[in-house]
Chains A and B, each alone.
Chain A
Amino acid sequence: MSDQTITTSARRPARPRREIGEGALAALLLAPAALIFGAVLLYPMLSTLWLSFFTQKLTEPWLGTPFVGLKNYAQLVQDPRFLAALRNTLFFGVLTVGGSFLVGIPMALLAHAESRVRWVARVAMLLPWAMPPVMTGLIFAWMFNAQFGVFNDWLVRLGLSAEPVRWLSTPGLAVAALVITIVWKTSSFVALVVLGGLQGIPRELSEAAEVDGATKVQSFFRVTLPLLTPALAVAFIFRAISAVQVFDIPYVFIGQAPAQGLLETLGVYIQKTTIEFLDFGYGAALSVALFAVSLGITALYVRFVRGDES
Chain B
Amino acid sequence: MTRAPADTRPPLPLHERLVKYLGLALMIVGGLFPLAWILLTSLKDEGELQKFPVQYLPATPDWGNYARVFSEQPFARFFLNSLIVSGVSTVLCVVVAALAAYALSRLRVRYRGLLTVLVVVFSMFPVVSLLVPLFRIMRGVDLLNSYPALILPYTALSLPVAILTLIAFFSSIPRDLESAAMVDGCSRVGALWRVVVPLSTPGMVTAALLVFVNSWNEFLLALSFNTARDMRTVAVGVTLYQGEFSFPWPLISAAIVVGVVPIVALIVFFQRRFVAGLTAGGVKA
Task: Return the contact of B125 from the options A21, A41, A123, A207 (Cβ within 8 A).
Answer: A41
Residue of B nearest to A275 (CB): B224
Q: Is A65's beta carbon under 8 Å from chain B?
A: no
Instruction: Map CB proximity to B onto A123-144 as digits: 1 under 8 Å, 0 otherwise.
Output: 1111111111111101110110
Task: Return the contact of B252 from the options A120, A142, A153 (Cβ within 8 A).
Answer: A142
Within 8 A of B (CB), among A25-72: 25-26, 29-30, 32-33, 36-37, 39-45, 47-48, 51
A48 B132 Cβ-Cβ under 8 A: yes
B259 A117 Cβ-Cβ under 8 A: no
Within 8 A of A (CB), among B102-146: 102-104, 107-110, 115, 117, 120-122, 124-134, 136-137
Q: Is B27's beta carbon under 8 Å from chain A?
A: yes
Give A77 Cβ to nearest chain B Cβ, in Å: 18
Tell me the count of chain B residues lying within 8 A, CB to CB, of chain A.
96
Q: Is A238's beta carbon under 8 Å from chain B?
A: yes
How many interface contacts (CB-CB < 8 Å) are there between A and B?
A: 285
Instruction: Map CB proximity to A onto B270-285 as digits: 1 under 8 Å, 0 otherwise.
Output: 0100110011111111
Q: Is A294's beta carbon under 8 Å from chain B?
A: yes
Q: Is B180's beta carbon under 8 Å from chain A?
A: no
Report how far A145 CA is from B99 CA in the complex, Å.
48
Q: Is B31's beta carbon under 8 Å from chain A?
A: yes
Report how far A43 CA is from B234 CA in the complex, Å.
29
Q: Is B226's beta carbon under 8 Å from chain A?
A: no
Q: Is B197's beta carbon under 8 Å from chain A?
A: no
Task: Return the contact of A130 from the options B108, B213, B220 (Cβ within 8 A).
Answer: B213
Q: Is B194's beta carbon under 8 Å from chain A?
A: no
Task: Return the contact of B281 from the options A30, A123, A234, A298 (Cβ within 8 A).
Answer: A234
Assuming the contacts A37-B122, A121-B28, A184-B34, asked whether A132 and B99 have C-beta atoms less than 8 A apart, the reply is no
Which of B48-56, B57-65, B68-76, B200-208 sits within the interface? B48-56
Q: Is B229's beta carbon under 8 Å from chain A?
A: no
In the assembled complex, which residues on chain A have CB atoms less than 8 Å from the CB atom of B129?
A: 45, 48, 270, 287-288, 290-291
A36 B235 Cβ-Cβ under 8 A: no
Q: Is A263's beta carbon under 8 Å from chain B?
A: no
Report how far A123 CA is from B50 CA in the complex, Å.
32
Assuming the contacts A132-B259, A248-B219, asked whether A139 and B38 have C-beta atoms less than 8 A apart, the reply is yes
B108 A133 Cβ-Cβ under 8 A: no
B137 A44 Cβ-Cβ under 8 A: yes
Which of A170-178, A192-200, A218-226 sits within the interface? A192-200
Give A contacts to B, CB under 8 Å: 19, 21-23, 25-26, 29-30, 32-33, 36-37, 39-45, 47-48, 51, 106-107, 110-111, 113-115, 117, 119-136, 138-140, 142-143, 145, 147-150, 152-153, 156-157, 164, 184, 186, 188-189, 192-193, 195-196, 199, 203, 207, 216, 231, 234, 238-239, 241-242, 244-245, 247-248, 252, 255-256, 267, 270-271, 274-275, 280, 283-284, 287-288, 290-291, 294-295, 297-298, 301-302, 305
- 24 A-B contacts (beta carbon < 8 Å): A23-B110, A25-B188, A29-B99, A30-B109, A33-B96, A33-B100, A36-B152, A40-B155, A40-B156, A47-B133, A110-B23, A123-B267, A128-B31, A132-B235, A132-B260, A135-B235, A136-B34, A138-B256, A139-B35, A142-B37, A142-B247, A148-B50, A196-B278, A287-B128
Give B contacts to A, CB under 8 Å: 3, 6, 9, 16, 20-21, 23-24, 27-28, 30-32, 34-35, 37-38, 41, 49-54, 96-97, 99-100, 102-104, 107-110, 115, 117, 120-122, 124-134, 136-137, 152-153, 155-157, 159, 163, 188, 213, 216-217, 219-220, 224, 234-236, 238-239, 242, 247, 249, 252-253, 256, 259-260, 263-264, 266-268, 271, 274-275, 278-285
